[in-house]
């Protein structure tokens, strides 16, 4: 089953793809869940680490993101004034379904509620160091579109073998597969739950493969993951839209 959250007719609705039919553009798409803690992975694909001239990490490089960084399908993300390089990152997002503490990797999937698509934009001008904790890179308001759907974990036979791709203005610019993660989903859940408690609604953004490109105001960016969905977003300029994002 696919689930979404939308604003329509003055209220927030929890919907499925088989519910009442309305036009895609007639609703405001929200993140498909109300997020808890958002964990993000840096350099979790070896080809992406190589692309950035970094050594692949020996253990997960994890940082936290603000819930205010999320926006929904068909949303707008602002490119800050004067930056030289802003790029998309197509990522599989894992949503935790129940309290998770000291879980072994072989049992980790029992704690997953479902999966969605995320586009974790990065402003590389603000990158400070290898570990990537810089808030201005990764926690900007509305700079992480997510959705449209949360797909039940039971409906994804193998989340570690899903094709990912990004299209900018209709042109494919990034392709990869979740099987190429350095640290897979069970390993990440086991790693995090070993020293902290994960709660329902927590989200793990699992990293992006190679194929990054600078995006400009007016670009339409679509991030897709096999079996999960297609997430569309538009880049706007700070000069033309100073109060958005």
- pLDDT tens for the chain, residues 1 to 245: 999 999 988 899 888 876 667 788 889 999 999 999 999 998 898 766 566 656 677 899 898 999 999 999 999 999 999 999 999 999 999 999 999 999 999 999 999 999 999 999 998 888 766 555 567 777 788 999 999 999 999 999 999 999 999 999 999 999 999 999 999 999 999 999 999 999 999 999 999 998 999 999 999 999 999 999 999 999 999 877 666 55
In a domain, 245, yes or no: no
In a domain, 1, yes or no: no
List the domain range (segments joined by +) for residue 108: 31-237
In a domain, 17, yes or no: no
Cα distance between the two ends of the chain: 31
In a domain, 145, yes or no: yes
In a domain, 94, yes or no: yes
How many domains does the structure of the chain reveal?
Answer: 1
CATH number at residue 106: 3.90.850.10
In a domain, 23, yes or no: no
Check if the beta carbon of residue 164 is closer than 8 Å to that of residue 178: yes
Whose CA is closest to 206, among 115, 122, 83?
115
- Residue 78's pLDDT is 94
Distance CA 96, CA 162 (A): 19
Is the pTM for the entire model greater than 0.85? yes
* b/e 139-157 (16+ beta carbons within 10 angstroms → b): bbebbbbbbbbbbebeebe
- Residue 163's pLDDT is 98
Whose CA is closest to 3, among 151, 118, 225, 204?
151
Distance CA 172, CA 154 (A): 29
In a domain, 24, yes or no: no
């Amino acid at each position: 089953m696919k689930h979404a959250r939308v604003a329509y007719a003055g209220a927030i609705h929890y919907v499925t793809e088989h519910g009442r039919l309305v036009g895609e553009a007639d609703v405001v798409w929200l993140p498909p869940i109300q997020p808890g803690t958002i964990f993000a992975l840096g350099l979790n694909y070896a080809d992406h680490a190589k692309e950035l001239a970094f050594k692949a990490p020996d253990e997960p490089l994890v940082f936290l993101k603000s819930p205010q960084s999320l926006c929904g399908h068909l949303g707008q993300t602002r490119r800050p004034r004067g930056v030289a390089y802003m790029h998309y990152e197509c990522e599989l997002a894992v949503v935790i379904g129940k309290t998770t503490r000291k879980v072994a990797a072989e049992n980790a999937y029992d704690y997953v509620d479902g999966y969605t698509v995320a586009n974790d934009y990065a402003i590389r001008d603000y990158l400070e160091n290898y570990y990537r904790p810089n808030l201005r890179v990764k926690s900007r308001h509305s700079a992480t579109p997510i959705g449209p759907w949360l797909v039940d974990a039971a409906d994804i036979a193998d989340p570690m073998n899903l094709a990912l791709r990004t299209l900018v203005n209709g042109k494919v610019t990034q392709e990869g597969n979740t099987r190429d993660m350095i640290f897979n989903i069970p390993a990440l859940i086991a790693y995090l739950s070993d020293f902290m408690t994960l709660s329902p609604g927590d989200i793990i953004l699992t990293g992006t493969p190679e194929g990054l490109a600078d995006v400009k105001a007016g670009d339409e960016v679509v991030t897709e993951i096999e079996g999960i969905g297609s997430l569309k977003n538009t880049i706007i300029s700070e000069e033309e839209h100073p109060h958005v994002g």
